[in-house]
């Protein structure tokens, strides 16, 4: 892997790390102000739908379909402008619909809630959903910047959302919980506005705005219908293929609304810790490599594409392996340090720890599936990726219904991990077991096992010291 590729990966990782750290700061303040109360659940439900679409759009689906099509396009400006206008109109109509009928949408999100709680949550749902309009603009501009292999702006910009929400909470920290969740919702929308502004500045800096200006100018003179049709064929399966982890999380929230109060919050807080290594390691690596792999395959250079894939695998293996061990062994001090203060009690810490451990079981398979599915999308095998995601999601749903009653929120998290393993195994089968075994048949496998044993012993020792101090 070239120095430039590594630089792209670590630049992207640092940006995502900064965003995730500010996100954890946001959650720490939220936990202190609201705990795992009904108001926290109300906000999480209201934010769930735009956050679901954000993850689908921003972390894969749109980019995975748009990038290969944009690379191959002969009229890049006209093609990009046509796609942007089509999506923007559709998303605006969706946002308007949610604003007009928020209670119906909220009921679908939290079927197990009473009509009184639904009516209180509905206005929050309407406010939060407008974030989706801004995040699509951000995702579109981010893909153009990725084409120029610039990742820092997009990676760092999520921090603006978190900073906006933190500012809103600090301004109303001593207000009633109802006021705080409304302030949070408006903070979400303002965060979207700030993200759009930063991407517009970056787009102009890299002179990518000229492509869009030219595309708008010649949009009626140059025909890109065939390219649009090819993009649509890629986009729909890409959305579905990239949505399995997000739909799994969405399903967790829906089913948790039937469990005891606080279950939605336990899942959210544990998932936030889980998403930190997934984002800064797996998603950062896949995002940084995707443009170069797409370009390599577009010019028929499979050797370079597979070479980058192999090197990225071992980078992920060591970093994700360490994260899994740390997340499981150090779960108690992690949750205590981040969340147990103010309205967040010791009892809620214990329940969040249990959920976190179940999530961490699925970290490595989700991370590897993200990496190898990137190769499927770059080689235009979006349909295969969608089929794999469907099977994994069905397994996840079945496991959720089987485990939620005996294990509660912990069972829902475990079901998600089972779905992650299914996704990984099926993705590897499609890429080729021979290629996968070719990667792991290396001396690096012994280095990996040895380092994990050493790290495990170190983490156990650290955990005993910290837990001993906490309980003394």
Walking along the chain (472 residues) 10 residues at a time, the average pLDDT comes out as 60 76 82 76 82 65 75 77 86 91 84 82 91 90 83 82 91 85 92 94 85 67 69 74 70 78 81 82 72 70 71 84 91 82 75 91 90 77 84 92 88 91 92 82 84 91 80 62
* pLDDT at residue 27, as a whole number: 79
- Best CA proximity match to 66, nearest among 87, 83, 88, 89: 83
CA neighbor of 166 nearest in space, from 18, 28, 15: 28
- How far from 123 is each of 37, 191, 395, CA to CA, in Å? 18, 18, 34
Decide: 315 and 284 in contact? Cβ < 8 Å.
no
- Judge contact between 117 and 42, C-beta under 8 A: yes
pTM: 0.69
List, in order, residues 6 or more apart from 64 with CB less than 8 Å away.
Answer: 234, 238, 241, 242, 290, 374, 377, 382
Structure tokens given for 22: 């500010």
Task: Give pLDDT, residue 60.
Answer: 60
Q: What is the pLDDT of residue 283?
A: 73
Do residues 224 and 218 lie in contact, with contact meaning Cβ atoms separated by under 8 Å? no
Q: What is the pLDDT of residue 157?
A: 84
Other C-beta atoms lying within 10 Å of the C-beta of residue 204: 11
Q: What is the pLDDT of residue 242?
A: 67
What 8-state DSSP symbol labels residue 57?
I
Specify the 3-state DSSP secondary structure of 73: coil
Dihedral pair phi/psi, residue 233, rounded to 5°: -65, -30
pLDDT score for 40: 81
Predicted pLDDT of residue 164: 94
CB count in 10 Å sphere of residue 439:
18
* Local structure of residue 279 (DSSP, 8 states): I
């Amino acid at each position: 892997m070239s120095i430039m590729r590594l630089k792209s990966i670590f630049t992207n990782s640092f940006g995502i790390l900064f965003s995730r750290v500010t996100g954890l700061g946001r959650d720490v303040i939220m936990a202190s102000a609201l705990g795992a109360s009904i108001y926290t659940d109300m906000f999480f439900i209201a934010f769930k739908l735009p956050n679901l679409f954000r993850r689908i759009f921003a972390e894969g689906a749109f980019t995975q379909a748009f990038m290969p099509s944009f690379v191959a396009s002969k009229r890049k400006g006209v093609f990009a402008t046509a796609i942007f206008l089509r999506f923007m109109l559709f998303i605006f109509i969706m946002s308007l619909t949610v604003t007009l009928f928020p209670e119906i949408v909220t009921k679908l999100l939290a079927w197990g809630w009473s009509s009184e709680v639904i009516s209180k949550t509905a206005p929050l749902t309407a406010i939060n959903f407008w974030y989706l309009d801004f995040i699509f603009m951000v995702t579109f501009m981010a893909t153009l910047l990725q084409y120029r292999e610039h990742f820092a702006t997009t990676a760092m910009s999520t921090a603006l959302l978190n900073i906006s929400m933190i500012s809103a909470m600090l301004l109303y920290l001593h207000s009633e919980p109802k006021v705080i969740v409304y302030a949070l919702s408006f903070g979400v929308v303002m965060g979207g506005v700030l993200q759009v502004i930063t991407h517009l500045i970056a787009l102009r800096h890299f002179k990518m705005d000229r492509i869009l200006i030219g595309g708008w100018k010649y949009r009626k003179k140059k025909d890109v219908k065939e390219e649009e049709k090819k993009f649509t064929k890629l986009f729909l399966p890409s959305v579905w293929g990239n949505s399995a982890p997000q739909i799994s999380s969405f399903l967790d929230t829906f089913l948790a609304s039937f469990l005891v109060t606080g279950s939605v919050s336990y899942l959210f807080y544990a998932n936030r810790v889980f998403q930190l290594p997934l984002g800064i390691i797996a998603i950062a690596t896949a995002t940084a490599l995707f443009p170069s792999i797409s370009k390599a395959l577009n010019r028929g250079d499979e050797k370079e594409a597979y070479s980058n894939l192999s090197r990225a695998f071992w980078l992920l293996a060591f970093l994700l392996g360490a994260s899994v061990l740390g997340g499981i062994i150090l779960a108690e001090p992690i949750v205590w340090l981040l969340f147990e203060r103010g309205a967040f009690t010791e009892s809620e810490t214990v329940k969040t720890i249990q959920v976190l451990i179940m999530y961490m079981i699925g970290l490595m398979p989700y991370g590897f599936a993200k990496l190898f599915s990137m190769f499927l999308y770059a080689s235009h095998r979006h349909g295969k990726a969608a089929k794999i995601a469907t099977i994994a999601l069905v397994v996840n749903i079945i496991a959720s219904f089987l485990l939620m009653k005996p294990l509660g929120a912990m069972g829902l998290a475990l079901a998600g991990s089972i779905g992650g393993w299914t996704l990984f195994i099926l993705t590897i089968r499609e890429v080729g077991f021979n290629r996968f075994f070719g990667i792991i048949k290396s001396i690096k496998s012994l280095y990996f096992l040895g380092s994990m044993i050493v790290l495990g012993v170190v983490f156990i020792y650290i955990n005993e010291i910290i837990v001993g101090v906490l309980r003394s």
